[in-house]
Amino acid sequence: MKFAVVSRLTPYLQSALRIAAAFIFVLHGTQKLFGFPGGSPVPAGSLLGAAGVLEAVGGTLMLLGLFTRPVAFVLAGEMAVAYLTTHMPRGTWPILNGGELAVLFCFIWLFFCAAGPGPLSLDAVRKRM
């Protein structure tokens, strides 16, 4: 495949990354809130319950590509706090302290905060109107 073809696909791959990451993020939120898929729900008024709301609602907005930049900023902050408060006290290295997903999601959301949602998004539809 020629690089020119791949370059033309970049915006669509950007949207695909947003959609895939957001879908997984929503699953983390629904697992905390409803115990689905698998697990048991956490107390709604707890810090984990608040994280579940951010992940389910924010993840859904990211999935749709709606208000992408501000939502991505908030979600990146959530993941930074999750890493610093939950994972880092267990050790420095993410691979050893279980913080790999928090780090990856933090930087994925920072990317979308800067780059936007890509063309397959409700933000792109709103922009055309």
> For 41-75, what is each residue's pLDDT tens digit?
999 899 999 999 999 999 999 999 999 999 999 99
Spans of the chain below 50 pLDDT: none
Please give the model's pTM, rounded to 2 decimal places: 0.93
What is the residue range of 99's domain? 3-128
What is the structure's pLDDT at 1? 55
Domain count of the chain? 1
What is the structure's pLDDT at 103? 98
Residue 38 contacts residue 31 (beta carbons within 8 Å): yes
